[in-house]
Amino acid sequence: MIKLNHVQKKYPDFSMDCSLTVYPGMITGLIGANGEGKSTTFKLILGLIGKEAGEMEVLGKKRECSNDGKQPEKEILQQTGVVLAETGFGSYFTIHDIIPFLEDLYPEFEKDKFLQYCEEYKLPMNKKIKEFSTGMKRKLQIFAAITHKAKLLLLDEPTSGLDVVAREQMLTLLREYMETEGRAILISSHLSGDLETFCDDIYLIQKGTITFHEEMDRLLDAYGLLKVSDEVYKKMDKSHIICRKKENFGWSCLTDQKAYYQMHNPEIVIEKGSVDELILLMAGGERI
């Protein structure tokens, strides 16, 4: 569905060299701190900005090095559902106002289903979108994204601004979307709980470069955070340590062989790995 091979984008204060793949039938997470390149990656995939180098394929179509100011390919947009930081809808429009635009943009727009979602989740039909809360805008974006039989969803922080109940409701709708064969999702989120229970695999982007990729099941099952003193750290086998960080008590170490240390070093405190811990340790620690 998506293939990026050393796709490069340069700004005066930021440069990107990104490689990742999103396969059909998969929900792929993209994580990283603010400013590391998540939104730039989404804009490159959509063709909203051009790339300087590298190979990029989206929905079977290769993208050239630069879009030269051209509009994104309409065919790709029609097959893609999008949630970005900006709503993409005119602030002074109402939901009724945007329906003709959705019908024009998406040949397979499911108007009845879209209106059903808006009614079920209590979005005001005649209220201007600029008066919507952040959560209401997110719901509107999600409803528009999943009601035109898109093959691919690109979701940049789609649950931002939603309370716990609404967040789970929207994730349930996205899971239902994936029940149709041949679809895929690329999602970014700062809420690790969303990704841990939702994604099949996950990428970590740092300073515009992918520094980590793993299947979610293996991340949660095999990865662990070792808490060790300086003395224990000196003696222990470090061959299965991915990165480490100095702490007041000694060292925090990330491993992808939790069972190995449970067997050979039962005295070591081993905490279950999580997406949050991965981000913090990979960002603040050192690779070994």
Compute mean pLDDT per 10 residues along the chain, 288 residues long, and list them.
94 93 96 87 88 91 62 76 79 90 93 96 92 92 95 92 91 95 91 82 92 90 91 92 92 92 89 75 78
Give, in order, the Cα–Cα distances in Å from 82 to each of 110, 154, 156.
Answer: 16, 5, 8
The DSSP call for residue 273 is P
**CA-wise closest residue to 242 among 256, 224, 260, 230:** 256
Q: What are phi and psi of 152, to 5 degrees?
A: -135, 135
**CA triplet 189, 227, 279: central angle to 5 degrees?**
15
**Helix or strand holding residue 15 (H, E):** strand 14-22
**CA-wise closest residue to 240 among 221, 225, 260:** 260
User: What is the spatial distance between Cα 287 and Cα 266, in angstroms, rounded to a whole number?
Assistant: 24
Give, in order, the Cα–Cα distances in Å from 75 to each of 79, 182, 245.
Answer: 7, 17, 47
Single-letter amino acid, residue 58: V
Give, in order, the Cα–Cα distances in Å from 4 to each of 16, 91, 150, 159, 285.
Answer: 12, 33, 20, 25, 27
Tokens for 11, please give them. Answer: 């700004």
The number of CA neighbours under 13 Å toward the Cβ of 225 is: 19
Look at strands 241-246 and 152-156 and give their pairing: unpaired
User: What is the spatial distance between Cα 278 and Cα 26, in angstroms, rounded to a whole number?
Assistant: 21
Tokens for 92, please give them. Answer: 């002074």
Q: What is the DSSP string of 217-240?
A: HHHHHH-EEEEE-HHHHHHS--TT
**CA triplet 207, 17, 203: central angle to 5 degrees?**
65
Beta strand extents in 91-240 (DSSP E only): 152-156, 184-188, 201-206, 209-215, 224-228
pTM, two decimals, is 0.89
User: What is the spatial distance between Cα 259 and Cα 287, in angstroms, rounded to a whole number?
Assistant: 21
**CA-wise closest residue to 82 among 128, 47, 133:** 47
pLDDT of residue 273: 67
